[in-house]
Structure 1
Amino acid sequence: MREAYHDQLSRLIDQLADMCGMVGTAMERATRALLDADLDLAEQVIGGDAEVDDARANCEEYAYSLLALQAPVATDLRKVLAAIHAAESLERMGDLALHVAKAARRRHPHAVLPDSVRDQFAEMGRVAVDLARQAEQVVRTQDVNLAKSLEEADDQIDELHRNLFTVIMDKGWPHGVPAAVDITLLGRFYERFADHAVSVARRVVFVVTGRMPGYGNDEIV
């Protein structure tokens, strides 16, 4: 019975890790659609978002069934609770990739991004996808040191996001208000995507240590 129960917990962790892979792929495709005005890629992301939603629902249903039927305690209980919270963050990451893809579709066949910010968004996309991939490894391995390293990559996204405002607030900005609004929103989507990836990693730290990092005095939230 105990062995079967731990197999069920492992299945729950695998579901979460698979979700990390799904949202990483979604953001990778959405970024390419944004940079290349690729409508087909944008439609792939938009059409695939329901799969992420379904994955969250399945993960939560499975987690709640474990709570109800197995009454886990200690580390096992933390795993189940962390999975519920992480699944929510991962679904939100999928939604943010969806927003990027919809921006690319809305402006098609025209490019959303002026040349002056293309490099910043290419880098933001690269870092965001790397964060999702690293989160997948954190979930699978429960490596606390790797989990904590995601904070540094998140700082890169924050810095790139801040730099965008320097560009669009310049008095010589030639692309008008609609482009500035698009860039502001898109930058925010990438920033939040990274924040949620870090949140997933923090949940793993919570599972291993019993404490949630990053909220002052390591209080559990």
Structure 2
Amino acid sequence: MREVFQQELQEVQNGLVDIANLVAESIEKATRAFNESDVSLAEEVIAEDPRIDQATVALDELAITILARQQPVARDLRIVVSALRISASLERMGDMSTHIAQLARYRFPDKVVPKSLRGTFSEMGRLDVEIARKLAQLLDNEDVKLAEEIRNEDDKIDALHLSVFDKVLGETWKGEAIDTVDATLASRYHERFADHAVSIAKKVQYLATGDWVPES
């Protein structure tokens, strides 16, 4: 029974890695669609989001089955409960990717943000993609150095997020109301994507080391 239990725990971990890879693919396509005004790619992201949702539901069902049948304790219990919380965050990351793609679709053939902000959003997108890839690696190998790198890159996104607000609220901003709304929403989606990744990274670091990283 113990061997079966360990196999099930490994299946949970593998499932999380698979979902994280789907999320990384989603944000990579979404940011390209956003920055390049690629409506086909945006539609692809939107169409594939249910795949992430279905994968998280399947993983949650497995975790709940393990809780009911195996009644894990101590670290094993923390692993299963953490998996439920991590899958929820991954699902929300997929949603953020979809929201970014939806903005690209709604504004096609125009680009979502004015030229003055495109460099900022290009960098935010690059950082989100990098974070997503590192998160998949972290879930696979529990290398806590990756958790620190994710937090550092999240700090950069936070700074870019604030710079967007400074821009759209500044006296020199010449965008229309819709430009202000789109830029604000897009920046928020990028920022929230990274925040969910940081939340997951903290949980993985805690499982790997036993040390909880407090909110900054």
**1:31-88 deviation digits (Å, cap 9, x = unpaired):** 1111111110000010001001101101100101111111111221111011000000
CA distance in 2 between partners of 1:129 and 1:35 (Å): 13
Deviations, residues 149-186 of structure 1 (Å, cap 9, x unaligned): 31111101001111112221221212211101100010
Which one-letter code corresponds to 1:156 in the other structure?
K
Q: What is the identity, as a one-letter code, of the residue corresponding to 1:94?
A: G
Letter in 1 for 2:81: L
State the Cα distance separating 1:141 from its structure 2 match: 0.8
Q: Given that residues 34 and 113 in structure 1 are in contact (C-alpha distance below 8 angstroms), is that contact kept between their aligned partners in structure 2?
A: no
Separation in structure 2 between the aligned mates of residue 54 and residue 214 of structure 1, nearest angstrom? 31
Unaligned runs of 5+ in 1: 217-221
Cα distance in structure 2, aligned partners of 1:184 and 1:215: 24
Query: Which amino acid in the other structure matches residue 185 of structure 1?
Result: L
Letter in 1 for 2:34: L
Q: Distance in 2 between matches of 1:151 and 1:214?
A: 12
Aligned pair count reads: 216
Q: How many Å separate the matches in 2 of 1:3 and 1:145?
A: 30
* TM-score under structure 2 length normalisation: 0.96
Offset at 1:215?
A: 3.4
Give SS of 1:109's match.
Answer: coil
For the 8 Å contact 1:17–1:139, the answer to whether it is kept is: yes
Amino acid of the structure 2 residue aligned with 1:181: V
- Structure 2 counterpart of 1:23, which letter? V
Cα distance in structure 2, aligned partners of 1:68 and 1:127: 39
In 2, Cα distance between equivalents of 1:147 and 1:170: 35
Instruction: Report the counterpart of residue 21 of structure 1 in structure 2.
Output: 21
Once the two structures are superposed, the pairs formed by residues 1-221 of structure 1 within 5 Å of their partners are 1-215=1-215
Segments ≥4 residues shifted beyond 6 Å: none
Looking at structure 2, the residues matched to 62 and 207 of structure 1 have their Cα atoms a distance apart, in angstroms, of: 19
Q: What's the C-alpha RMSD, in Å, of the aligned pairs?
A: 1.3
The answer to whether the 8 Å contact 1:161/1:187 transfers is yes
Q: Could you tell me how far 1:146 is from its partner in structure 2?
A: 2.1
Counterpart residue type for residue 72 of structure 1: P
- 8 Å Cα contact 1:82-1:206 kept in structure 2: no
**Equivalent-residue separation in structure 1 for 2:73 and 2:145 (angstroms):** 25
Shift of 1:211: 4.4
8 A contact 1:27–1:97 mirrored in 2: yes
Of the structure 1 ranges 73-82 and 190-199, higher mean CA displacement relative to structure 2 is found in 73-82
Ranges in structure 2 where 5+ consecutive residues have no aligned partner: none
Give the TM-score of the pair, scaled to structure 1: 0.94
Q: How far off its partner does 1:196 sit? A: 0.2
